[in-house]
Amino acid sequence: MQREKVKQVLASESGREVLVKGWVRTRRGNKNISFIALNDGSTIDNIQVVADNGSFDAEMMKGVTTGSAIGVRGSLVESQGKGQSVEIIAGEIILYGTADPEKYPLQKKGHSMEFLRDIAHLRFRTNTFGAVMRIRHAMAYAVHHYFNTKGYYHLHTPIITGSDAEGAGEMFSVTTLDLANMPKGKDGKVDFSSDFFGKHTKLTVSGQLEGELGALALGEIYTFGPTFRAENSNTPRHLAEFWMIEPEMAFYDINDNMDLAEDFTRYLIRYALDNCSADLAFLNEMVDKDLLERLRFVADNDFIRTTYTAAVEILEKSDRKWEFPVGWGRDLQAEHERYLVEEHFKRPVILTDYPRDIKAFYMKQNDDGKTVRGMDVLFPRIGEIIGGSQREEVMEKLEERMEEMGIPAEEMWWYLDTRRFGTAPHSGFGLGFERLILFVTGMSNIRDVIPFPRTPRNAEF
RNA sequence: UCCUCAGUAGCUCAGUUGGUUAGAGCGGCGGACUGUUAAUCCGUAGGUCGAAGGUUCGAGUCCUUCCUGAGGAGCCA
The per-residue pLDDT for A107 is 85
CB–CB of A450/A137 below 8 Å? no
The per-residue pLDDT for A167 is 64
Q: Round to whole Å and give the CA distance between A295 and A291.
A: 6
- Please check whether strand B approaches the CB of A66 to within 7 Å: yes
Q: How many residues does chain A have?
A: 461
CA of residue A283 to C1' of nucleotide B5, angstroms:
28
Q: Is the pLDDT of residue A210 over 70?
A: yes
Strand B footprint nucleotides (protein C-beta < 7 Å)? 1-2, 10-13, 26-29, 32-39, 67-77
The per-residue pLDDT for A165 is 60
- Phi, psi at residue A213, to the nearest 5°? -60, -40
Which residue is nearest nucleotide B77, judged by alpha carbon to C1' distance?
A432
The SS3 of residue A84 is coil
Which percentage of chain A shows pLDDT scores above 70? 99
Q: Between A370 and A81, where is the model more confident?
A: A370
- Please check whether strand B approaches the CB of A235 to within 7 Å: yes
- Please check whether strand B approaches the CB of A158 to within 7 Å: no
Q: Is the pLDDT of residue A109 over 80?
A: no
The per-residue pLDDT for A406 is 86
A201 contact partners, CB below 8 Å, separation of at least 6:
A160, A161, A162, A173, A174, A175, A192, A195
pLDDT in tens, A284-331: 999 999 999 999 999 999 999 999 999 999 999 998 888 888 999 999
- Please check whether strand B approaches the CB of A32 to within 7 Å: yes
Q: Is the pLDDT of residue A163 over 90?
A: no
> Residue A247 — very low, low, confident or very high, per pLDDT cuts 50/70/90?
very high
Phi-psi region of A335 (alpha: psi -120 to 50; beta: other; left: phi over 0): alpha
Q: Is the pLDDT of residue A391 over 80?
A: yes
ipTM value of the model? Answer: 0.92
Q: Is the pLDDT of residue A37 over 70?
A: yes
How far out from the chain centre does Cα A31 lie? Answer: 47
The per-residue pLDDT for A168 is 66
SS3 content of chain A, % helix, strand, coil (to 5): 35, 25, 40
Average pLDDT of chain A, as a whole number: 94
CB–CB of A172/A228 below 8 Å? yes
**Closest nucleotide to A387, Cα to C1':** B77
pLDDT in tens, A421-444: 999 999 999 999 999 999 999 999
The per-residue pLDDT for A120 is 94
**Closest nucleotide to A455, Cα to C1':** B69
> Residue A91 — very low, low, confident or very high, per pLDDT cuts 50/70/90?
very high
Helix segments in A301-412, DSSP class H: 308-317, 334-338, 395-405
**Closest nucleotide to A323, Cα to C1':** B73
Provide mean pLDDT across the span A323-346: 93
Q: Is the pLDDT of residue A147 over 80?
A: yes
Which residue is nearest nucleotide B28, judged by alpha carbon to C1' distance?
A102
Strand B neighbours among A 104-133, CB < 7 A: 105, 107-112, 114-115, 117
pLDDT in tens, A164-208: 665 667 899 999 999 989 999 898 889 999 999 999 999 999 999
Domains and CATH numbers, chain A: 6-104 (2.40.50.140), 125-169+205-448 (3.30.930.10)
Provide mean pLDDT across the span A23-32: 91
The per-residue pLDDT for A166 is 59
- Please check whether strand B approaches the CB of A136 to within 7 Å: no
